[in-house]
Amino acid sequence: MPPQMRLAFVASDAPIAQQAKATLHAQYNGVPLDEAEIIVALGGDGFMLETLHDTQELDVPVYGMNRGTVGFLMNNYSSQGLRDRLARAEEEVINPLRMTATSVDGTLHEALAINEVSMLRSGPQAAKLRIHVDGKLRMDELVCDGALLSTPAGSTAYNYSAHGPIVPIGSEVLALTAVAAFRPRRWRGALLPKAAQVTFEIVNAAKRPVHADADGVSFKNIARVDIRSAPEIEHRILFDPGHGLEERLIREQFA
């Protein structure tokens, strides 16, 4: 990487992240986002997802440094030697999921999810879901607190907490996982081809309300959710050598 590669710095609202942004912006002559060749995001995983969504039209790689809590998508923070680290960084390209959620009143909502799309009950009663894959009914009734469809990049997040599998980055599959399944009680979910189109119908949605969520963007009173991968959208993430997503996913399984 040329020594004068233009860097833009963005940070979460956390004081520690804002302080790091001010330090790095001055130290490395930070530029506005629309002039950047690399974006450096300072915060946690949630802020990294927010940055990837907000800058997807720029086609600029994002290098995260952890100033938050978890930091699975982030590199370790240091104010020293940043240009050298960026010159040696390895790039991962991930595709998001495209969600179309239909409300009970027929309103359509669209959102993208880098980690997962989830459906969760909004009231005291369990949700009842009907699942179609590529237009074919695969499960007539799943009674649960919810369900989610995860990308490989998001498989260590909510999906893993719900006892879903960790999916290797290069596997070209999506993880479909139930949240607190009641019936069928022992259903362990499914691994689906990345190109699959998945539809969730909410059975008796008025009585058993469900909300849909795509990376924190939520819509209430949903009757149907259609999800597919969006290979036309590419998010470019930079990691320090030997600490890319594939290594992190493997390491997480032996933690």
Q: From the candidates 34, 45, 145, 226, which is the catalytic residue?
A: 45
> Any idea which of 23-37, 73-87, 168-182, 238-252 has the lowest mean pLDDT?
238-252
Q: Please, is 14 exposed, middle or buried when counting C-beta atoms within 10 Å of its C-beta (0-12, 13-18, 19+)?
A: middle
Burial group, residue 69, by CB count within 10 angstroms (0-12, 13-18, 19+): exposed
Strand partners, 199: 132, 226
pLDDT at 141 over 50: yes
Distance of CA 190 to the CA centre of its chain: 19
Instruction: Pick the closest to residue 24 from 45, 5, 49, 41 (CA basis).
Output: 41
Q: Side chain identity at 150, as an amino acid letter?
A: S
* Runs of H (alpha helix) within the chain: 15-27, 45-54, 82-88, 158-161, 245-252
**Angle, CA 110 vertex, CA 170 and CA 113 arms, to 5°:** 30
The model's confidence at residue 1, banded by pLDDT at 50, 70 and 90, is very low
Instruction: Please identify which residue in the block is written with the tokens 């190109």.
Output: 195
Q: What is the pLDDT of residue 80?
A: 95
Q: Per-residue confidence at 250, pLDDT binned at 50, 70, 90?
A: confident
How confident is residue 4, by pLDDT bands cut at 50, 70 and 90? Answer: confident
Residues 6+ apart with CB under 8 A from 204: 128
* pLDDT at residue 3 in the model: 55
Q: Is the pTM of this model over 0.75?
A: yes
Q: Which of 226 and 153 is assigned the larger pLDDT? A: 226
Active site residue 45: yes
What pLDDT does 186 receive? 83
CA separation for the pair 210, 212 (Å, rounded): 7
Q: Which residues pair with 173 in a beta bridge?
A: 193
Cis peptide before 124 (omega within 30 of 0): no
8 Å CB contact between 150 and 115:
yes
**Which pLDDT band holds residue 48 (cuts at 50, 70, 90)?**
very high
Q: 166 or 169, which is more confident?
A: 166
How large is the average pLDDT for residues 157-179? Answer: 91
User: What is the average pLDDT score of the chain?
Assistant: 93
Q: Is the pLDDT assigned to residue 113 strictly greater than 90?
A: yes
